[in-house]
Every structure is written in structure tokens, then in C-alpha cells.
Amino acid sequence: MKTRTIRIGLCGLGTVGQGVWKHFSASRARLESQLGVKLELHRAAVKDPRKKRAVKIPAGRITTDTLAVATDPKIDIVCELIGGTGLARRVTLAALARGKVVVSANKALLCAHGAEIFAAARKGGGHFFFEASVAGGIPIIKALREGLVANRFRLIYGILNGTCNYILTRMSLEGAPYAAILAEAKKLGYAEADESLDVEGWDTAHKASILAFLAHGVWVKTDRMIVEGIDRVSPIDIRTAATLGYGIKLLAVIGRDFENNELFVRVHPTLLPKDKVLANVNGVFNGIAVTGDVVGTTTYIGRGAGQDATASAVISDIADAVTLLTTGKAVAAGRPEQGPRVRLAPLEHVISRYYLRMTVKDQPGVLAQIAQITARNRVSIASVIQTAAGRTDAASLILTTHESNERAIRSTLADLARLKSVLEKPLLLRIGEFTD
């Protein structure tokens, strides 16, 4: 019997695309024998065909006509490795409408258009695989979808952005300010020229949206989440957190209350107890803790991005796509919800302990004014630390609270901002006392 040839088209040959070409070419023979097919990297689409690339690709295999690759009848698997939500969306929808398998690393696209993409896949008979979109080399999508299929997920939390973790790790090791570490991270290529997507938490939010979909079957857009970045975290916060027994990590937190059928998704810098595994995941590494009702808590750690880790995830999806094409064995896209649709939790149901740092006038009575405001909002103070604020007329006041909720703490912050003795916008961090 003639061995079937599966043809792959790459849309985009940048960092990830070239990694896929390189590692796929190196492992092709092994993959072919494992999967029982012949595999061919058929064509690749780019913006600028004259650009110098680290991989050797015959000129005849490169085109600028991306949609022609996506719709080429000879191509079975289309890898969308362009990024963004414009051309990437058109390429994805065109390929799915023709019943092809699309493999994507694009979290922004999924977060913005996930529902549309899966509907297009169902309608056109295509399939959409996206292992590379969250936590690069960690097979977290497969874990949630396949390995942990027996579970319902009360809590998932994770470090999903290597740039932020690198900056926070170095701040913590060196006591250096955020801006200095960010500037160096840019020089070393660990942060983009425009860092806002990473440090303001949006990249993590896109990934949180994908994990929430896999675990709970609903798409939560970023405007329905709490999203806060690391740009206001200072060495004093890192030092104080350490004194209290915590490290600071930018976390995505996806919580589900099954009794009330409520879900919340939030992204923010979090004080994490030092004895938690994720508090010790440092540098550009990612880590995710998943609590399932059957298995308990499992933890995943690995490289979250970069050419090789991302290529590893894309090639894993290509292998799954080949199995699907040759055996018809499909994997579920997400978790279909049974019963009434899960609701987003109102702010008063989103519970946490809080850390508040304020720069206040160094004069008598200020603490009493602040305590009055917290009491009025039913926020109970757990500890108070006062340190120098780097100016003679002011002090840094750091409060931690007992458990409260997002509505009460927001109201507290608004009241504090009106106090003349509070000199700058207070910094609010969450304390993540996650119970496994």
C-alpha cells in the first residue's frame, strides 16, 4: 500500500516559524516512522521574501501570498505563525472553511476570536490546535484536555509570562528597581521594544482566557477580567513581601465556585507564600498549578516561550493533526458545559487577602484616618508596617488585610485616594494563600 503524504504549510517564518522548520526538518524521519506517513513542509508564506533567515528554504517554496497557502488544496495542515488578529484570523478561517487542520501559537487571536474560530471549524469540518499558545514548551493544553479529563477544576493559577517573571526574579535577587531591570531585559532580548503587552498583564490575560475556556468551556474576554501588571511593583514591595514570607509573581488565577456556578479570571502581581512550588519558579520559566477534584493539585514547570520551546509545542500539534487525519481520532476542542451556563462572579464574591502600600504624610493621626476607612468598608487589617519613603515629610505605610473581597477593597482604595494625607495612588497587590 502506498504511504500517504501529509503536506504542511507554514504561514509566517519568524522566530517560531523558523524554529518549526528547523526542528521539524531534523526530526522528520523519526516522526514519519512513528506516524506511518510521509511528511512534507510544502510551502511557507512570509511578508518579505528577501529577508535573511537562519534556515535554508528553497526559493520556490516561499511565497508572499499567505491566503494561497491557507487554501492550497494540496496542504492538509496550516500552521498560523504570523501573530496578531488581522491576517492571522483571515488565514485561520479560510483554512478551517476548507476542512483543514490549523495549528496556531496565537493567544491574542484565540482570546479575541476563539468562539468564532471553533464555530468555523465545526461548520467547515476543520480542526484547530493551539498547544503553543499557552506556556510554550509545557503541554498544559493536552494536560487539561486529555490527561485531566476526569477532573473539574476549582483552581488554576500560573506564571504565564516569562518576561514578567524574569523582571520580578531579578528585582528580587538584586533589589534593583523595575525600570533598570526592564531596560536590561530589552537589551538581552527578554523583553519586546514595546513591553506593554507583557508588563501590563495583557499577554497573561490572553493565556488565562484560553485556560479558562479549556477548563470551563466559556470564553472570558479581557475586559471581563481583573488585569493588573507589574510596572508599579518596587524593591520595597519585594523586600516587605520577603520579610512576610512571600515572593511576588505575576499570576493568572482562574477560580470556579461549583456550588454557585460562578467563575472568575484575574491577572495581577501576587504575594505567593515561599513554600509554594510556583514561588520558586524563576527567570523566564513558566509554572502552572492545577487543582482537580479527582487528582488534587498537579504542577507544571518549563520554558514558556522562545523559539525551541514553542516549536516543540507546534510540532506536537502537527503530530496530533497527522493522527487525526490518518485515523479520524479527534480531540475535544474544549469542555462542553453541562447544565446552566457558568456566570462570571460578581466582585463581592472574588475573595482575597490584600497588600496595600501607601506613601503618606509623616504626621500623627494618619494611621487612625486610614483605619477608619478600612473599617467603614469592612476590610480588616492583619498587619501594619511603616518604613522610610525616601523623602523627609513622608513614610511608606504597608497594610496587609484579612480576607476581603474586590468590591470592598475597591471602595477602600477610592476612599483612601480622597485623603489629603495619602500622597500617591496606593499600590494594591493580592496575597495568594491558595489551598490545594
Ligand X SMILES: NC(=O)c1ccc[n+]([C@@H]2O[C@H](COP(=O)([O-])OP(=O)(O)OC[C@H]3O[C@@H](n4cnc5c(N)ncnc54)[C@H](OP(=O)(O)O)[C@@H]3O)[C@@H](O)[C@H]2O)c1
Q: Is 147 in the site for ligand X (CB under 6 A)?
A: no
Regarding 310 and contact with ligand X (CB under 6 A), the answer is yes
Phi-psi region of 84 (alpha: psi -120 to 50; beta: other; left: phi over 0): left
Which C-beta is closer to ligand X: that of 132 or that of 140?
A: 132
Q: Which three cell numbers stand for residue 144?
A: 487539561
Q: Which residues contact 231 (CB under 8 A, 6 or more apart)?
A: 178, 199, 200
Task: Return the half-sphere exposure (C-beta side, CA atoms, 13 A cut-off) of residue 312.
Answer: 14
Size of the site for ligand X (CB under 6 A): 24
CA distance 366 to 426: 14
Place of cell 498549578: 289
Taking the least distance from each CB to ligand X, the nearer of 90 and 239 is 90
207 is catalytic: yes
Q: Which stretch binds ligand X (CB under 6 A): 239-247, 305-313, 341-349, 384-392?
A: 305-313
Bridge-based pairing of strands 404-405 and 351-361 is antiparallel
Question: What gap in Å lies between CA 417 and CA 419, rounded to an integer?
Answer: 6
Q: Does 12 bind ligand X (CB under 6 A)?
A: yes
Residue 105 lies near ligand X (rule: CB under 6 A): yes
Of 6, 8, 9, 17, which one interacts with ligand X (CB under 6 A)? 17
Decide if residue 140 touches ligand X (CB under 6 A).
Answer: no
318 belongs to the binding site for ligand X (CB under 6 A): no
126 torsion bin: left (phi>0), alpha (psi -120 to 50), beta (else): beta
Quick one: 128 or 355, whose CB is closer to ligand X? 128
Burial of 100 (0-12, 13-18, 19+ CB in 10 A): buried
Residue 46 in the binding site for ligand X (CB under 6 A): yes
Q: Is 114 in the site for ligand X (CB under 6 A)?
A: no
What is the spatial distance between Cα 129 and Cα 100, in angstroms, rounded to a whole number? 11
Cβ of residue 310: shortest distance to ligand X, in angstroms?
A: 4
According to DSSP, residue 349 is labeled G
Closest contact distance (angstroms) between CB of 11 and ligand X is: 7
Which member of 48, 194, 275, 393 binds ligand X (CB under 6 A)?
48
Among positions 114, 136, 255, 287, the unique one binding ligand X when judged by CB under 6 A: 136
Chain residue at closest Cβ approach to ligand X: 14
Near ligand X in 85-104, by CB under 6 A: 87
- Cβ 22 to ligand X, closest distance in Å? 12
The answer to the question of residue 66 lying near ligand X (CB under 6 A) is: yes
Q: d(Cα 23, Cα 5) in Å, to the nearest integer?
A: 19
Residue 428 identity: L
Q: Does 269 bind ligand X (CB under 6 A)?
A: no
Contact yes or no for 428/355 (Cβ under 8 A):
yes
User: Residue 435's CB: how many other CB atoms inside 10 A?
Assistant: 7
| Identified catalytic residue from 100, 142, 207, 276 | 207
Question: Which span (11-19, 71-79, 266-274, 284-292) binds ligand X, by CB under 6 A?
Answer: 11-19
Task: Identify the three-state secondary structure at position 113.
Answer: helix
Of the pair 49, 273, the CB lying nearest ligand X is at 49
Assess 16 for contact with ligand X (CB under 6 A).
yes
What is the enclosing helix (H) or strand (E) of 80? strand 77-80
Tell me the catalytic residues. Answer: 207
Instruction: List interacting residues with ligand X (CB under 6 A).
Output: 12-17, 45-48, 51, 66, 81-83, 87, 105-107, 132, 136, 305-306, 310
